[in-house]
Structure 1
């Protein structure tokens, strides 16, 4: 009989580090740094399934599920930015991963990636921020309705957590009855789709998402603020604002403009920063436009090859 708790993924070399499910692919390459991936809020490491295999042909790649997500065990609450960053540091050290590495962060994972690069600059050869969350999104620089929606997201995750705990949300997920999610995961390989359907809507996952986002919105934990001198930095901006956020054209334009300004601000964190717009892509650029992400990382691999 199959073990329902056995991780199912395209990515081999699965192991656990202090309860965190990690996946190593590729072979260490003395010419290139490893590539480490940090997923966003409310998903799992399976979102990198279209990106890792090709990059693993060049160097070693590491993806992992943060505490509570995917096949990882729940972590200590609250899930502050500091705890998330220290968890990644622990994984890197326990695996004895070669450093410095290229760090790729998506959404809230991009926020954590910035903080990691600030706290451990000796670990990071280059930084890729994919439609990354930014502290300005919870401050007055954004339109008030957008700020209210950030706080609403915390309550929605909290509601989803309780619905998951009584078994309703996992039951719906088993039948693929979660509106919109099927379309999102349809581009992923079958093994990754199965893992996403099975794990994303668990009570542990929803609790982790609620706590992480609550800490982000409430600014509980550290907020990155340093510049990175000439650190190679790629800021990837999604081409399409998240659908369904607002039907008001004027407000939508205001939010899109402010998101763009925020991306430019992140680009300017380094003198070597670049801003890349992923035309036609939604928030999950690594799923909608994996070739764009692969191309960016390959360019950084070549760029950092000389300096390490």
Structure 2
């Protein structure tokens, strides 16, 4: 009897060991194929022992710089917008440290660290201001912080459904903490292939997103998810840091607000009812009204048919907003003198 039990236990342990080994091999092969199958668009810029992926296209001034939200797509989050903007002026999209092709950073996630990384990448790649900074979601506070630290190089901003420094306190009565312990476990077990298996369901294809970009994002997702989780944990600190600077002077500013009703999946994720969702949207609009007032030349546009990822739901609205700021910057910039 004991012998039979021992054989069964040994068999079970051997099966688990083989399954773990298979998962590790599956993940390692996935990481190798991600690098071999999907070359980084643009260039990899060394910022001092780490590389940041930076993709700059087009010619002209000012240079538009795109900052993604708290997603795993990095520079590819702007694939439906950047080419249209690049047809009119220089346009740069990049992936923050630890996202997609960019090397991770050992520094804690913060708005200042993001600004310093981006500025170093732009400088070492030979890109220079004036810049029009474009940020979506948490990318909004990131580009406002960039303006705080490198304001002499920032001529205008476009904030795409941006996070607000006070949003946690403003919506606390409607929403509760939604970070799942199970998600942390899944990210922690990424080396065993479980997360990679789940990626196709976790990252559906967005409108105006190419098959190639979707496959690239999914290929790098297990690494990128770790960074996304760290950025999520630092959200309160990031918002507090960004909230210390709310004066954009007379820089042209456009704030775009997504006003499409929340989907059932979004309501479930936020753990709120449809009625509460409508109340949250009212608060969201009010907070964006406040952000618009940070500049004496701020304008606010409501987009009734777009969700949070406006750059995919209504890319033309983002392009038009960016080009409107570009035109304002050009109109205010004196022409270069002849040699």
Partner of 1:19: 51
Verify the 8 A CA contact 2:134 2:143 in the aligned structure 1: yes
Extract structure 1 runs of 4+ deviating beyond 4 A.
Answer: 154-157, 218-221
Q: 2:255 aligns with which of 215, 235, 239?
A: 235
| 1:143-222 to 2 correspondences below 5 Å | 143-146=172-175, 148-149=176-177, 152-153=178-179, 155=181, 158-173=184-199, 176-178=200-202, 181-184=203-206, 186-199=207-220, 201-202=221-222, 204-218=223-237, 222=241
Evaluate the alpha carbon distance shift between residue 252 and residue 156 of structure 1 in structure 2; reply closer, same or farther with a 3 A threshold.
farther
Question: How many residues were matched structurally?
Answer: 292
Partner of 1:103: 133
State the SS of the aligned residue for 1:133. Answer: coil
Partner of 2:21: none
State the 1:132 CA deviation.
0.8
Evaluate the alpha carbon distance shift between residue 132 and residue 156 of structure 1 in structure 2; reply closer, same or farther with a 3 A threshold.
farther
State the SS of the aligned residue for 2:307. Answer: coil
Evaluate the alpha carbon distance shift between residue 156 and residue 239 of structure 1 in structure 2; reply closer, same or farther with a 3 A threshold.
farther
The separation in 2 between residues aligned to 1:72 and 1:160, in whole angstroms, is 22
Partner of 2:8: none
Any unmatched runs of 5+ in structure 1?
Answer: none
Q: TM-score, normalised by structure 2?
A: 0.79
> 2:63 aligned with 1:34, yes or no?
yes
State the 1:306 CA deviation.
2.0
Verify the 8 A CA contact 2:34 2:219 in the aligned structure 1: no
Structural RMSD (CA): 2.3
Verify the 8 A CA contact 1:238 1:277 in the aligned structure 2: yes
Higher gyration radius (CA): 2
Partner of 1:116: 146
| 1:237-276 to 2 correspondences below 5 Å | 237-240=257-260, 242=262, 243-244=266-267, 245-276=270-301
Partner of 1:127: 157
The separation in 1 between residues aligned to 2:219 and 2:99, in whole angstroms, is 11
Evaluate the alpha carbon distance shift between residue 305 and residue 154 of structure 1 in structure 2; reply closer, same or farther with a 3 A threshold.
farther
The separation in 1 between residues aligned to 2:240 and 2:115, in whole angstroms, is 11
The separation in 1 between residues aligned to 2:180 and 2:252, in whole angstroms, is 33
State the 1:239 CA deviation.
1.8
Partner of 2:308: 283
State the 1:126 CA deviation.
0.6
Verify the 8 A CA contact 2:160 2:255 in the aligned structure 1: yes
State the 1:157 CA deviation.
5.4
The separation in 2 between residues aligned to 1:113 and 1:160, in whole angstroms, is 31
State the SS of the aligned residue for 2:166. Answer: helix
State the 1:183 CA deviation.
4.1
Higher helix proportion (structure 1 or 2): 2
Partner of 2:13: none
